[in-house]
Amino acid sequence: LQYPHATVEPLLSGISLRCSDWYNRLGAGSLLTGDPAFNYQEHELNERLKRLYPAVNEEETPLPRSWSPKDKYSYIGLSQNNLRVHYKGHGKNHKDAASVRATHPIPAACGIYYFEVKIVSKGRDGYMGIGLSAQGDNMNRLPGWDKHSYGYHGDDGHSFCSSGTGQPYGPTFTTGDVIGCCVNLINNTCFYTKNGHSLGNKLSALSFCPCLSFQPNLYPTVGLQTPGEIVDANFGQQPFVFDIEDYMSEWRAKIHSMIARFPIGERLGDWQAVLQNMVSSYLVHHGYCATAMTFARATETMIQEDQTSIKNRQRIQKLVLAGRVGEAIDATQQLYPGLLEHDPNLLFMLKCRQFVEMVNGTDSEVRCFSARSPKSQDSYPGSPNLSPRHGATNAHLHNTGADSPTCSNGVTPTNKNKSHNKYTGVSSASASSSPSSSPSSVNYSESNSTDSTKSQPHSATSNQETSDSEMEIEAEHYSNGVTESSTRIMNGTYKHQEILQADDNSVGNGVADDSCSSRQLCGGNQAATERMIQFGRELQALSEQLCRQYGKNATHKKMLQDAFSLLAYSDPWNCPVGQQLDPMQREAICSALNSAILESQNLPKQPPLMLALGQATECVQLMAKVRSGSCSFARVDNFLH
Amino acid sequence: KCLFHTEGLFKPEKKKKKNFDMKNAVIGNNRQKANLIVLGAVPRLLYLLQQSSSSLELRTECAVVLGSLSMGTENNIKSLVDCHIIPALLQGLLCSDLIFIEACLRCLRTIFISPVTPVQLLYTDPTVIPHLMSLLSRSQHTQEYITQIFAHCCKTPEHQTVLFNHGAIQNIAPLLISPSYKVRMQALKCFSVLAYENAQVSMTLVNVLVDGEQLSQVFVRMMQRDKPIEMQLTAAKCLTYMCRAGAIRTDDNCIVLKTLPCLVRMCSKERLLEERVEGAETLAYLMEPDIELQRIASVTDHLVSMLADYFKYPSSVSAITDIKRLDHDLKHAHELRQAAFKLYASLGSNDEDIRKKITETENMMDRIVSGLSESSIKVRLAAVRCLHSLSRSVQQLRTSFHDHAVWKPLMKLLQNAPDEVLVMASSTLCNLLLEFSPSKEPILESGVIELLCSLTQSDSPALRVNGIWALMNMAFQADQKVKVEIVQALGTEQLFRLLSDPDTNVLMKTLGLLRNLLSTRPHIDQIMSSHGKQIMQAVTLILEGEHSIEVKEQTLCILANIADGNTAKELIMTNDDMLQKIKYYMGHSNVKLQLAATFCISNLIWNEEDGSQERQDKLREMGFVDILHKLTQASDPNLCDRAKTAMQQYLA
């Protein structure tokens, strides 16, 4: 960790505090992952539960993992990590029955839940019951005797459903048998297994309350009644004897086919139109102009927005994604006057990003200090990747499941392959030299090359009239903030030493000592750095002004602090806040700007496709909340490929 | 409406056009197909197809049109087969063009899967099978059509052998992991017909690897519950057949934990009627010989009560709601019932508890009783099999069998039934005639003896055994009257004919009958006085003949019974040859025979009876005492005791 340099200190009040913050967070993180007391069985259990119940969010609804030492009758003794249950009462009659519940109820998002119990010893009489019960049920009973409790009893093989009298159900069970209990929250039934064989559900006898919302949370439960009875539970610690995954696969297939065969009847035409509209609007939203046009032609649909508008938005987005936020702000102000003035939050976000990009050395305000080929100065990037990516870090609604439709609809320029190769070459080189750089940068340059094939031809707007070769160069520039670091040269004109010198003279904040450092603050140019600091002050001023005008804004404050914190480190790219410099971070602001522009044009700020996706995801989550088990097999990501 | 000008086919320039018209006209129109056949298009098309001078395109079109014609009614297929379409198409397969081959195969496939086509036609030319095997590598289509042809045309052990010898297993196994579902499915079907009751194929199959994986594991994967039902069911069949052929143990996990549960699932209400029939039949076959599987199946998914649903077709609902459903239900009702009976029979064949569970199923006995008199022979046979299986239970014989008077329909069934039904029915009757069975009396009164005697004259050994067996059971501790009736009805001639029956079982049961007839002294004397000569002759014959230990033991037991009679004794005592035989068997190496012979002597020298002194003296002279003395030192405790008791007769 580096302490802030004196020259920048006045600008960065409170930065040391943030540094210690980060320090603390780092410390906490390392403690968490470094804990060696992670035993094998635990790991096995976690893996199995994750595989069986992928839809369960354990932070909200934890899965049962052992018997509860609190939720049991006094005649019950627990051992072996609360997995073994033994009876320690008198066992004279049914009044001496005793039960224990698992630590947690069965979450509805399981869809299908299963656990097994091995009879270690049947004890004196083998009066054992295995099943389910609700919280608050009397523990001085065997499962099945009370309301909301269900049990399969070993002595007579009967099944008890909230009643003191059982019904003939299956065989008896005794020492050595493995009894399983499967809860199906889709059709609200339950069945038991013995030694891996399903004993079946007699629907009339075993079905739960038909309306599950009235059904309280059910806990795995076991009850014993005579001395010497010992049973071991398996909540997933070990492989199950019954092939529950096979059973689940059947239900998954059932639900998927139910979805696939959802009757649409006469409305086939309507559905087609809706789907086409969704695709088209998605393409338009993200500015895939040529693709959208081709699609519209092929499907004979209309596009609401006119082409120029799409292209304008596309241009601005490209600028943001290329890190040239300053230019993007200018372009927005020019093309959509008043937009940013009416949305100071957005403007502030953009400016913050501009500052980050200055640090990065990609914003044109700092780039102009470096000698660039005049040709590329006034040309826009071919077409950087505009589509949102699936980012692990970016769980934003816009991003879920959106594929980058890079298909070029047949408008393939001849040099496509050539340029493609070139980019991959560049990016892979950078990836090897700077392992810390985000993996997305590789994707960027690759998709750039394919994207560039579709948007360029016959474009009416002047700025788009760049040749393919120029675009290649440009694209290199734009991704170079991070990826081209291996050469330390922005566009091939600077020599290595010159940059180092410039560094030593102007900044001198310790960067030069670190000869391994591959990237330079503001591209390593002193004038640029000064401009950056100047800009920082303006930003600070803007923040204060906004604060006066609209009151304190915690988000703004944090944004500003995070941005300024970058300067506190010798190598901002490898610092706790360095993630900001990742080009992927441009996407959020890019999409915010795009949405704002669309909104100002009275167009939807989100593509309907994304809305539908978001709604579906929400809906599935809501299903889990209202205890509709089929949600576990109807997860949205099952249908996104 | 649409008239075809077949003569157009003879004009070269018009051929293709005509063909094209024809193809479009006949697709999906059975009447047009029939028209075309009546007009004589088939020979012409076949002629063109076979002309190597005609263009490939035209020949292919011909095959396509023929293929379309074969999709029609069964009559269409008959006409096509009568025109010798099969050899012509098989000949076409020798062409090198894949499109043409595929068109020929498609048509062949359609013809061969029709029930009216004799499958033998595939095997008449011995070069056909190897050629088809070689075509398997050509394309997914050839794979699909050829495997489908094999799956339908492998009906006998000979067919299995032909296909096996031409490398069917090696050629078809890789197709199980084909990307095409149809190919996978047809390949699977091939294996199920190849493995059925065929140990050679089954033993080979277990060692086959597909992409490094054992075939049985491939089948297990195909039984996963998210796979199509058809695939699960067929894979379960393959494993069942392999298991029954001895290639997979019945306690193997892939049988116990996979195949059996899969087949039980096939019996569930959610499945189609056809699937339920096949599932139940296959399951019955799988667990027939294994009590452990029967026990597991009996508790899996409430199979026993699940099967009760098989009897509810056509349901009252279907009769009212729609006629189509009723028709469908009616068509499958018989099949469902016979499948359920078969499965019950298999389930209950060994375990008393399961039998109890079955008879306690709703209306079970009534269903069997009415099943015995159903019009469908398949149902009757299955019902009587089920009854037979349940009749092995003493408890059921005493209770439910009697309560439901099952003997009545059973007796009715025995009149004029085909042999396979007769075998099962008479077998069941054997059990119903057991001494403790309350049905025995009413059956006797219904004149069963005549019927059983006529069974002993049957050509089928199984029927002869059952007939004589039933008589044997009947004679056990029976009244004199019944015994006489039996002897009279059977006739000594027939009795002695049975004693020289080539089937050991028949011989054994006949001896058993004799033994039962010759029990209690008055009966012995009476029968021996009227038939003594013949019986002694028969006994001599058997003791001198080449027979198994069991047969000889049984014979010696008869002799011992004779020796117990008052007057009958003399038949032995006056027969020195017989006494020498007894002496010989007392010194035999087999303890059972020694014991039986000693019994006989013991009876002869028994003190309390008239003339015992003379007999003792005679036998002492013949050296029996020495032998008895030796036998008192025998290591076998029974033999030793018996010899000592005999010796005591001398001492007293």
Q: Which two tokens stand for residue A217?
A: 């949370």
Grade residue A498 by pLDDT with cuts at 50, 70 and 90: very low
Give the tens place of pLDDT for each residue, B356-380. 999 888 888 889 988 888 888 899 9
Has residue B282 got a pLDDT over 90? yes
Domain boundaries, chain A: 38-252, 271-370+520-633
| Residues of chain B above pLDDT 70, percent | 95
Residue A473 CA to residue A467 CA, distance in Å, equals 10
Architecture of domain A38-252: Sandwich (2.60)
Question: By C-alpha distance, which of B537, B453, B445 is closest to B482?
Answer: B445
Query: In chain B, what residues touch A198 (CB-CB under 8 Å)?
Result: 261, 300-301
Residue B4 CA to residue B40 CA, distance in Å, equals 10
Helices B624-631, B637-651: crossing angle, 10 deg rounding: 140
CA distance B221 to chain A (A): 10
Q: Are A381 and A322 in contact (CB under 8 A)?
A: yes
Q: Do B224 and A246 touch (CB under 8 A)?
A: yes
Grade residue B14 by pLDDT with cuts at 50, 70 and 90: low
On the CB side of B205, how many CA atoms lie within 13 Å of its CA?
34
Number of structural domains chain B divides into: 2
- B232, B257, B259, best to mutate vs chain A, most A CBs in 10 Å: B257
Provide the terminal-to-terminal Cα distance of chain B, rounded to the nearest Å: 112
In single-letter form, the type of residue at position B633 comes to: Q
Q: What is the mean pLDDT of residues B18-35?
A: 72
Q: Do B302 and A200 touch (CB under 8 A)?
A: yes
Residue A457 CA to residue A453 CA, distance in Å, equals 8
DSSP A311-369: HHHHHHHHHHHTT-HHHHHHHHHHHSTTHHHH-HHHHHHHHHHHHHHHHHT-SHHHHTT
| Residues of chain A above pLDDT 90, percent | 21
CB-nearest to A197 from B226, B299, B305 is B299
Q: Do B301 and A250 touch (CB under 8 A)?
A: no
Q: Do A197 and B261 touch (CB under 8 A)?
A: yes
Q: What is the CA radius of gyration of chain B?
A: 34
Grade residue A491 by pLDDT with cuts at 50, 70 and 90: very low
CA distance A46 to chain B (A): 25
Averaged pLDDT score across all residues of chain B: 87
Q: Is A562 exposed, middle or buried (0-12, 13-18, 19+ CB in 10 A)?
A: middle
Indicate the helix (H) or strand (E) that contains A220.
strand A218-224
Give the tens place of pLDDT for each residue, A451-469. 433 444 443 433 444 333 3
Give the tens place of pLDDT for each residue, B190-202. 999 999 999 999 9
Give the tens place of pLDDT for each residue, B57-102. 889 988 998 888 888 888 889 989 999 999 999 999 999 999 999 9
Mean pLDDT lowest among A135-149, A189-203, B244-258, B610-624: B610-624
Q: Is A190 exposed, middle or buried (0-12, 13-18, 19+ CB in 10 A)?
A: buried
In single-letter form, the type of residue at position A128 comes to: M
Question: Nearest 10 degrees: CA dihedral of A97, A101, A107, A108?
Answer: 0
β-pair type (B213-214, B209-210) = antiparallel
Has residue B234 got a pLDDT over 80? yes
Q: Which of A592-601, B184-193, B463-472, B636-645 has the highest mean pLDDT?
A: B184-193
Helical ranges in A481-525 per DSSP H:
496-502
Structural domain range at position B609: 530-651
Q: Coil, strand, or helix at residue A183?
A: strand
Q: Are A513 and A523 in contact (CB under 8 A)?
A: no
Q: What is the mean pLDDT of residues B635-648?
A: 82
Q: Which residue in B has a C-alpha nearest to residue A172's C-alpha?
A: B299
Classify residue B326: in a domain, yes or no: no
Grade residue B430 by pLDDT with cuts at 50, 70 and 90: confident
Grade residue A500 by pLDDT with cuts at 50, 70 and 90: very low
Classify residue B58: in a domain, yes or no: yes
Grade residue B317 by pLDDT with cuts at 50, 70 and 90: low
B231 vs B323, more confident: B231
Residue B237 CA to residue B285 CA, distance in Å, equals 10
pLDDT reported for residue B36: 80
Q: How many CB pairs under 8 A join A and B?
A: 36
Q: Do A199 and B302 touch (CB under 8 A)?
A: yes
Averaged pLDDT score across all residues of chain A: 72
CA distance B225 to chain A (A): 5
CB-nearest to A250 from B226, B299, B301 is B226
Task: Report phi then psi at A151, rounded to 5.
Answer: -155, 155
Where among B117, B141, B163 does a domain terminate? Answer: B117
pLDDT reported for residue B7: 44
Query: In chain B, what residues touch A246 (CB-CB under 8 Å)?
Result: 224-225
Classify residue B389: in a domain, yes or no: no
Query: In chain A, what residues touch B226 (CB-CB under 8 Å)?
Result: 249-250, 252-253
Q: Do B299 and A196 touch (CB under 8 A)?
A: no
pLDDT reported for residue A442: 37
- Strands in A25-97 per DSSP E: 67-72, 76-79, 84-87
Residue B230 CA to residue B235 CA, distance in Å, equals 9
CATH number for position B628: 1.25.10.10
Q: Which residue in B has a C-alpha nearest to residue A191's C-alpha?
A: B301
Q: What is the mean pLDDT of residues B612-627?
A: 79
A262 vs B282, more confident: B282
CA distance B269 to chain A (A): 12
Residue A216 CA to residue B114 CA, distance in Å, equals 58
Grade residue A410 by pLDDT with cuts at 50, 70 and 90: very low
Task: Enumerate helices (H) and strands (E) in chain B, giving the number of each.
Answer: 43, 2
In single-letter form, the type of residue at position B406 comes to: V
Q: What is the mean pLDDT of residues B213-228?
A: 95
A147 vs A501, more confident: A147
Query: In chain A, what residues touch B231 (CB-CB under 8 Å)?
Result: none
Query: In chain A, what residues touch B225 (CB-CB under 8 Å)?
Result: 246-247, 249-250, 253
CA distance B632 to chain A (A): 50
Classify residue B602: in a domain, yes or no: yes
Q: Are A150 and A132 in contact (CB under 8 A)?
A: yes
Task: Report phi then psi at A184, rounded to 5.
Answer: -105, 105
Where among B117, B142, B177 does a domain terminate? Answer: B117
Task: Report phi then psi at A435, rounded to 5.
Answer: -60, -20
Q: Are A52 and A244 in contact (CB under 8 A)?
A: yes
Classify residue B149: in a domain, yes or no: no
From the CB of residue A362, how many other CB atoms can be counted at a distance below 10 Å?
Answer: 28
Where among B84, B117, B150 does a domain terminate? Answer: B117
Per-residue buried b or exposed e for A452-461, using 16+ beta carbons within 10 Å of the residue's own CB: bbbbbeebee
pLDDT reported for residue A25: 39
Classify residue B197: in a domain, yes or no: no
Sequence-distant (6+) residues with CB within 8 A of B261 are A197, A198, B300, B301
Report DSSP state, residue A58.
Answer: T
Q: Are B571 and B528 in contact (CB under 8 A)?
A: yes
pLDDT reported for residue B18: 64
Query: In chain B, what residues touch A196 (CB-CB under 8 Å)?
Result: 257
Per-residue buried b or exposed e for A246-283, using 16+ beta carbons within 10 Å of the residue's own CB: bbbbbbbbbbeeeeeeeeeeeeeeeeeeeebbbbbbbb
Q: Are B265 and B327 in contact (CB under 8 A)?
A: no
Give me the long-range contacts of A611-620 (CB less than 8 A, separation at least 24): A612/A278, A613/A400, A613/A401, A614/A397, A614/A400, A617/A400, A620/A55
Question: By C-alpha distance, which of A322, A370, A326 is closest to A352?
Answer: A326
Q: Are A221 and A101 in contact (CB under 8 A)?
A: yes
CB-nearest to A246 from B225, B302, B305 is B225
β-pair type (A218-224, A98-102) = antiparallel
Q: Which two tokens stand for residue A314?
A: 């596309």
Mean pLDDT lowest among B178-187, B301-310, B616-625: B616-625
Q: What is the mean pLDDT of residues A291-312?
A: 83
Query: In chain B, what residues touch A159 (CB-CB under 8 Å)?
Result: none
Has residue B219 got a pLDDT over 50? yes
CA distance A616 to chain B (A): 24
Residue A572 CA to residue A561 CA, distance in Å, equals 14
CB-nearest to B299 from A194, A202, A247 is A194
B398 vs B234, more confident: B234
Tell me what ipTM this predicted complex has: 0.80
| Residues of chain A above pLDDT 70, percent | 67
pLDDT reported for residue A390: 42
pLDDT reported for residue B320: 61
Q: Do B299 and A253 touch (CB under 8 A)?
A: no
Grade residue A225 by pLDDT with cuts at 50, 70 and 90: very high
Residue B499 CA to residue B537 CA, distance in Å, equals 11
pLDDT reported for residue A641: 64
pLDDT reported for residue B147: 96
Q: Is A152 exposed, middle or buried (0-12, 13-18, 19+ CB in 10 A)?
A: buried
C-alpha B78: how far from chain center = 32
pLDDT reported for residue B495: 84
Has residue A244 got a pLDDT over 70? yes
